């Protein structure tokens, strides 16, 4: 367990300015029939910040991710991207800034497409046309970033392991060079050691490229390792939020206490 | 007192067009009465194959290629599956997606009836429902769950209910293959508490618990076996394994764990470089050597077993440390695998 000390990121982050948050939820609720899946949620994500959202299954984490991706619109409240209400952006324009990797990679793959075709299709979101060479370079770069050899471009989903599929989905998002990555349980299919490499990748993207990340997970250990800020969700509401270290140290809300008590200890 | 399960030099593989892929290679371990034996390792290391062997769920393309398995002191016939009368009474399986294995259109009580009916010809629906409800109540779960459909229960509750129903006939052995991977931490703890309760009430007598989650292992298992590329790397008491791992692979696994404790956040934790080998073409000698920071030429030879059957590691470095001097491969050949 050795390695270089890492500075407190929020303090020395060269990418965060005091200006507008990249993404802001202001009193957002989302109702499905009689169920309020997300209730009066407010938080902000600054440029170059990793914000982790934790909570148990069914607490509304994925609904919140879908709202952040503009796949759902809020029933009430407002979501703003760089100060502009999301409705002002066209979906394509929004997706140039915000990209996502969702938890079940098999649901995101067309099983008859090769990795190359899958990646190339996504590039349609961009407004400029890339040349063939540029295309290939971008795809290869993105795959290399997540630790997948570019030779895998010609593979089909069934030839990849669960962990590889999950990493391809992240490469797909990164290839579009978004400013915000919404990652919903991106490590659910990965073993502990691969999980660490992926989280390290997220840390590097933040530190080197100023990428903002909304990481959704039920694993407090992961959230604690990578995030600058922590949001704790319980039954659709954010019951606690703040600097990660402070939330974990102070654990004010009973649900946060419960969540921390349930995390198995290694030693 | 005999062991509930005793595998000796058990080997098995999958028959493929390209030849036999050895998924379990020369595994020797036992499950004792009253204990939870954990089996951990990365994906693709043979954990689930070993679980299938221990449960005698052996169907082509899986084939046993060597070794023996004793269940409750009796040598098992590995050429055929567990005989019907013993399913659910001698041994039950709690699979990963148990919660999705229940028929969504039938109530829990119908599932209980199916389980009991398979073994007791005279059982009525009414008595099956009562027994299931009583058992649920005894274990602190809501008895009314018997009248509910699977979708009316949360994921965690479904998994616990399936665990209760599959142990209605008091099987001596429960094989749990990643039963908690799809659950959030709170539901995981509840499931672990339930398994412990089943053991302390002697409803079941021993559990083989498979997971890749080491912190969870700590809360459930008495002893842990670490598997790598089809072989055992290390086996021992849970505390010893997690606090003072001997095998470099165990150490690397323990080092990759993220827990919400301050030291985790202030350092950069590096995972294990590379990935487990393709079992169709495993490396020679110690299978971990291509990824091991301590490997040298000696590791190209099969490593010796250091320790007794209760607690051991297969590693040249551990062997050297135990003897306080370099060990020549030939000197220990034969004492090892």
Kindly report whether the peptide bond that precedes residue A10 is cis, defined as omega within 30 degrees of 0.
no
Residue B184 has pLDDT above 90, yes or no: no
Which pLDDT tens digit goes with each residue over A49-101? 999 999 888 889 989 999 999 999 999 999 999 999 988 888 888 999 999 98
Which pLDDT belongs to residue B245?
94
Dist. CA A84–CA B140, nearest whole Å: 52
Q: In whole numbers, what is the pLDDT of chain B averaged over residues?
A: 89
Of B169, B185, B220, which residue sits at a domain end?
A: B169
- The percent of chain A in helix, strand and coil, each rounded to the nearest 5, is 45, 25, 35
Q: Is A116 helix (H, G, I), strand (E, B) or coil?
A: helix
User: Quick one: B185 and B263 in the same domain?
Assistant: yes
User: Quick one: B135 and B84 in the same domain?
Assistant: no
E runs forming strands in A135-211: 180-184
User: Quick one: B113 and B240 in the same domain?
Assistant: no
- Is A265–B218 a contact, with Cβ atoms under 8 angstroms apart? yes
Of B145, B169, B193, which residue sits at a domain end?
A: B169
Tell me which residue in B155, B186, B214 faces A192 most closely, judged by beta carbons.
Answer: B214
Q: How confident is the model at residue B332 (pLDDT cuts 50, 70, 90)?
A: very low
- Is A161–B44 a contact, with Cβ atoms under 8 angstroms apart? yes
Q: How confident is the model at residue B327 (pLDDT cuts 50, 70, 90)?
A: low
Dist. CA B17–CA A259, nearest whole Å: 48
Is any Cβ of chain A less than 8 angstroms from the Cβ of B269? yes
The answer to whether the complex's ipTM is over 0.90 is no
User: Quick one: B59 and B193 in the same domain?
Assistant: yes
In this structure, is residue B30 part of a structural domain? yes
Which pLDDT tens digit goes with each residue over B32-85? 999 999 999 888 889 989 999 999 998 888 999 999 999 998 999 988 888 888
Is any Cβ of chain B less than 8 angstroms from the Cβ of A251? no
User: Quick one: B22 and B65 in the same domain?
Assistant: yes
Which pLDDT belongs to residue B335?
39
- Is B257–A221 a contact, with Cβ atoms under 8 angstroms apart? yes
Which pLDDT belongs to residue A72?
92
> Which of B213, B239, B260 is the best residue to mutate to test the A interface, defined by the most A CB atoms within 10 Å of its own CB?
B260
User: Quick one: B113 and B180 in the same domain?
Assistant: no
Is any Cβ of chain A less than 8 angstroms from the Cβ of B152? no
Nearest-Cα residue of chain A relative to residue B274: A194
- Is B256–A263 a contact, with Cβ atoms under 8 angstroms apart? no
Tell me which residue in B43, B260, B267 faces A221 most closely, judged by beta carbons.
Answer: B260
CA angle A85, A86, A89 (to 5 degrees): 110
Which pLDDT tens digit goes with each residue over B80-109? 888 888 888 999 999 877 767 778 899 999
User: Quick one: B240 and B115 in the same domain?
Assistant: no
- Residues in Cβ contact with B219 at an 8 Å cutoff, skipping those fewer than 6 apart: A264, A265, B189, B192
Dist. CA A22–CA B281, nearest whole Å: 49
In this structure, is residue B258 part of a structural domain? yes
Which pLDDT belongs to residue A3?
42
**What's the full length of chain A, in residues?**
267
Residue with tokens 């018997």: B146
Which spans in chain B are helix H? 47-54, 98-101, 108-117, 125-138, 155-166, 185-200, 214-220, 238-243, 248-255, 262-266, 316-323, 329-332
> Which of A221, A264, A265, A267 is the best residue to mutate to test the B interface, defined by the most B CB atoms within 10 Å of its own CB?
A264
Q: How confident is the model at residue B329 (pLDDT cuts 50, 70, 90)?
A: low
Q: How confident is the model at residue A11 (pLDDT cuts 50, 70, 90)?
A: very low
> Which of A57, A58, A187, A193 is the best residue to mutate to test the B interface, defined by the most B CB atoms within 10 Å of its own CB?
A193
Residue B328 has pLDDT above 70, yes or no: no
In this structure, is residue B302 part of a structural domain? no
User: Quick one: B109 and B226 in the same domain?
Assistant: no
Is any Cβ of chain A less than 8 angstroms from the Cβ of B251? no
Which pLDDT belongs to residue A130?
81
Mean pLDDT in residue range B102-127: 91
Residue B330 has pLDDT above 70, yes or no: no
Which pLDDT belongs to residue B325?
65
User: Quick one: B68 and B207 in the same domain?
Assistant: yes
Which pLDDT tens digit goes with each residue over B135-168? 999 999 999 999 999 888 888 888 999 999 999 9
- Is A221–B216 a contact, with Cβ atoms under 8 angstroms apart? no
User: Quick one: B116 and B75 in the same domain?
Assistant: no
Pair of tokens at residue A211:
């990428």
Residues of A in contact with B259 (CB under 8 A): 221, 224, 263-266
User: Quick one: B33 and B50 in the same domain?
Assistant: yes
Which pLDDT belongs to residue B1?
59
The reported pTM is: 0.83
In this structure, is residue B186 part of a structural domain? yes
Residues of A in contact with B218 (CB under 8 A): 264-266
In this structure, is residue B288 part of a structural domain? no
Number of H helices and number of E strands within chain A? 11, 10
Dist. CA B122–CA A9, nearest whole Å: 68
Residue A106 has pLDDT above 70, yes or no: no
Residue B146 C-alpha, separation from nearest chain A C-alpha, in angstroms = 23
Backbone φ and ψ for B308, nearest 5 degrees, come out as -95, -175
Residue B301 has a CB neighbour count (10 Å cut-off) of 18
Which pLDDT tens digit goes with each residue over B298-315? 999 999 999 988 899 999
Please choose, from the candidates B69, B89, B90, the residue with its C-alpha nearest in 3D space to the C-alpha of residue B78: B69
- Is A3–B269 a contact, with Cβ atoms under 8 angstroms apart? yes
Which pLDDT belongs to residue B146?
94
Q: Are strands B173-177 and B206-210 parallel, antiparallel or unpaired?
A: parallel
Of B119, B150, B169, which residue sits at a domain end?
A: B169
Is any Cβ of chain B less than 8 angstroms from the Cβ of A1? yes
Q: Is B252 helix (H, G, I), strand (E, B) or coil?
A: helix
Residue A161 has pLDDT above 80, yes or no: no
- Is B268–A200 a contact, with Cβ atoms under 8 angstroms apart? yes
Which pLDDT tens digit goes with each residue over A180-212? 999 988 887 777 878 888 899 899 999 998 999
Q: Which of A29-43, B46-60, B96-110, B278-292 has the lowest mean pLDDT?
A: B96-110
Q: Rounded to whole angstroms, what are the CA distances from A246 to A79, A213, A256?
A: 26, 19, 12
The domain spanning residue B14 has which CATH number?
Answer: 3.40.50.300
Which pLDDT belongs to residue A7?
42
> Which of B269, B276, B277 is the best residue to mutate to test the A interface, defined by the most A CB atoms within 10 Å of its own CB?
B269
The DSSP output letter for A175 is H
CB-CB contact of B94 with B171 (8 Å)? no
In this structure, is residue B202 part of a structural domain? yes
Is any Cβ of chain A less than 8 angstroms from the Cβ of B262? yes
Backbone φ and ψ for A122, nearest 5 degrees, come out as -65, -25
In this structure, is residue B71 part of a structural domain? yes
Which pLDDT tens digit goes with each residue over B200-251? 999 999 999 998 889 899 999 999 999 999 999 999 999 999 999 999 999 9
Tell me which residue in A194, A244, A266 faces B214 most closely, judged by beta carbons.
Answer: A266
CB-CB contact of A146 with A105 (8 Å)? no
Which pLDDT belongs to residue A267?
73
Residue with tokens 């999705």: B100
In this structure, is residue B112 part of a structural domain? yes
Q: How confident is the model at residue A22 (pLDDT cuts 50, 70, 90)?
A: very high
E runs forming strands in chain A: 23-32, 35-45, 50-54, 76-81, 84-85, 98-101, 180-184, 212-217, 229-234, 237-243
Catalogue the long-range contacts made by A249-258 (C-beta closer than 8 Å, 24 or more residues apart): A256/A232, A258/B186
Please choose, from the candidates B189, B289, B218, B270, the residue with its C-alpha nearest in 3D space to the C-alpha of residue A195: B270
Q: How many domains does chain B have?
A: 2
Nearest-Cα residue of chain A relative to residue B257: A192
Which pLDDT belongs to residue A40?
96
- Is B254–A222 a contact, with Cβ atoms under 8 angstroms apart? no
Which pLDDT tens digit goes with each residue over B196-205? 999 999 999 9
User: CATH classification of A23-105+177-261, choosing from 3.40.50.740, 3.40.50.300, 3.40.50.150, 1.10.132.20?
Assistant: 3.40.50.300
Is any Cβ of chain A less than 8 angstroms from the Cβ of B258? yes
Residues of A in contact with B214 (CB under 8 A): 192, 266
Which pLDDT belongs to residue A120?
87
Which pLDDT belongs to residue A17?
52
Q: How confident is the model at residue A255 (pLDDT cuts 50, 70, 90)?
A: very high
Is any Cβ of chain A less than 8 angstroms from the Cβ of B177? no
Mean pLDDT in residue range B178-199: 89
Is any Cβ of chain A less than 8 angstroms from the Cβ of B183? yes
User: Quick one: B60 and B192 in the same domain?
Assistant: yes
Range of the domain at B238: 3-90+171-272
Pair of tokens at residue B205:
């007598």
Q: Higher model confidence: residue A110 or residue A142?
A: A142
Mean pLDDT in residue range A144-148: 85
């Amino acid at each position: 367990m050795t390695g270089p000390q890492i500075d407190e990121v929020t303090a020395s982050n060269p990418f965060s300015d005091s200006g507008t948050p990249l993404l802001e939820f202001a009193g957002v609720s989302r109702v499905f029939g009689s169920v309020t899946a997300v209730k009066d949620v407010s938080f902000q994500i600054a440029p170059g910040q990793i914000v982790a959202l934790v909570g148990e299954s069914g607490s509304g984490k994925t609904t919140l991710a879908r709202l952040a991706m503009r796949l759902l619109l809020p029933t009430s409240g407002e979501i703003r991207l760089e100060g502009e209400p999301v409705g002002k952006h066209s979906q394509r324009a929004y997706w140039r800034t915000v990209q996502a990797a969702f938890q079940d990679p098999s649901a995101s793959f067309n099983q008859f497409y090769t990795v190359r075709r899958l990646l190339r299709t996504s590039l349609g979101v961009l407004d400029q046309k890339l040349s063939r060479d540029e295309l290939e370079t971008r795809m290869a770069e993105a795959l290399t970033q997540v630790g997948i050899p570019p030779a895998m471009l010609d593979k089909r989903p069934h030839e990849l392991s669960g962990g590889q599929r999950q990493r391809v989905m992240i490469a797909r998002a990164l290839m579009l060079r978004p400013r915000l990555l919404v990652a919903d349980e991106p490590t659910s299919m990965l073993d502990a050691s691969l999980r660490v490499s992926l989280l390290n990748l997220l840390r590097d993207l933040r530190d080197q490229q100023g990428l903002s990340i909304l990481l959704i997970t039920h694993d407090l250990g992961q959230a604690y390792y990578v995030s600058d800020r922590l949001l704790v969700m319980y039954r659709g509401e954010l019951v606690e939020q703040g600097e990660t270290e402070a939330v974990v140290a102070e654990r004010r809300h009973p649900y946060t206490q419960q969540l921390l008590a349930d995390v198995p200890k290694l030693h | 007192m005999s062991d509930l399960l005793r595998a000796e030099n058990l080997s098995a593989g999958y028959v493929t067009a390209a030849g036999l892929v050895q998924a379990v290679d020369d595994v020797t371990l036992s499950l004792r009465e009253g204990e939870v034996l954990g089996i951990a390792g990365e994906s693709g290391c043979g954990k689930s194959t070993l679980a299938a062997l221990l449960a005698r769920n052996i169907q082509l393309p899986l084939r046993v290629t060597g070794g023996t398995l004793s269940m409750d002191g009796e040598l098992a016939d590995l050429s055929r599956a567990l005989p019907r009368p013993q399913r659910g009474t001698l041994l039950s399986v709690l699979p990963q997606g148990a919660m999705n294995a229940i028929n969504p259109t039938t109530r829990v009580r119908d599932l209980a009836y199916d389980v009991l009916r398979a073994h007791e010809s005279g059982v009525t629906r009414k008595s099956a429902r009562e027994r299931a409800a009583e058992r649920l109540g005894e274990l602190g779960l809501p008895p009314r769950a018997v009248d509910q459909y699977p979708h009316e229960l949360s994921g965690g509750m479904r998994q616990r209910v399936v665990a209760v129903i599959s142990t209605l006939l008091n099987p001596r052995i429960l094989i749990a293959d990643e039963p908690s991977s799809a659950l959030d931490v709170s539901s995981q703890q509840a499931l672990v508490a339930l398994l412990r309760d089943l053991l302390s009430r002697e409803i079941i007598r021993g559990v083989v618990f498979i997971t890749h989650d080491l912190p969870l292992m700590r809360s459930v298992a008495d002893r842990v076996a670490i598997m790598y590329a089809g072989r055992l790397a290390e086996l021992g008491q849970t505390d010893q394994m997690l606090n003072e791992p001997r095998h470099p692979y165990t150490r690397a696994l323990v080092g990759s764990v993220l827990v919400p404790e301050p030291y985790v956040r202030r350092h950069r934790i590096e995972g294990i470089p590379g990935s487990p080998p393709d079992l169709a073409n495993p490396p020679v000698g110690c299978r971990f050597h291509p990824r091991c920071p301590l490997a040298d030429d000696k590791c190209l030879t099969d490593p010796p077993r250091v320790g007794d059957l209760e607690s051991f590691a297969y590693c040249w470095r551990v062997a050297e440390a135990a003897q306080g001097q370099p060990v020549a491969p030939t000197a220990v050949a034969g004492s090892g695998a």
